[in-house]
Amino acid sequence: MAYVYINPYKSTYLAAKQELELRKTELSFATQRITQLEEIITKLEPLAKEDGIAPKGGLSELCRQVLMSSPGVGMTAASVMQSLAYRGADMSGYSNPLAVLHITLTRLCKPESGFVKGKSPEGKPMYTYDPHRRGLPPPPPAWDDMDGMPDGILRKTKK
């Protein structure tokens, strides 16, 4: 049986060389990222120091603005709350902010208002603004023939 001599220093040497290349790559990336972050900070610093403009209006007006900003897009109460947070509205004063939003959004969904309440495919309530429904009366119930109408409606229409 033949014995093969393995230099114990060679494997350590190769591992150290490989790690050095890895660390140089990491250092290059870190240097580039530090430069990018410094640029971002210098550009955003003046804007971050401003207090901004406080949202005007009550919660219902803010919800109305959120829904009207993206007409035809269904939003859950959680997504409305997220949009309100992006606009600077503070909901931390409410013990259950989602319940407050659901009530407020449901109150917005009146006939002829343009705001509509529906359900998502998962069954969650969704709210949307449909500008085509604004100012229009709710659609009448569709009956195929006069015989299918309830008596009360027939009496009201015959008078």
Q: Per-residue pLDDT tens for 99-133? A: 999 999 999 988 878 888 988 888 889 999 888 77
The C-alpha atoms of residue 126 and residue 118 are separated, in whole angstroms, by 5
Q: Which residue has the higher pLDDT, 134 or 48?
A: 48
Q: Is the pLDDT of residue 141 over 80?
A: no
DSSP string, 98-137: HHHHHHHHHHH--TTSSEEEEE-TTS-EEEEE-GGGTTPP
Q: At what angle do helices 77-86 and 59-69 cross, to 10 degrees?
A: 100
Q: How many CA atoms lie within 13 A of 19 on its CB side?
A: 6
108 phi-psi bin (left φ>0, alpha ψ -120 to 50, beta other): alpha
Residue type, 84: L
Angle at 19 between CA 15 and CA 23, to 5 degrees: 175
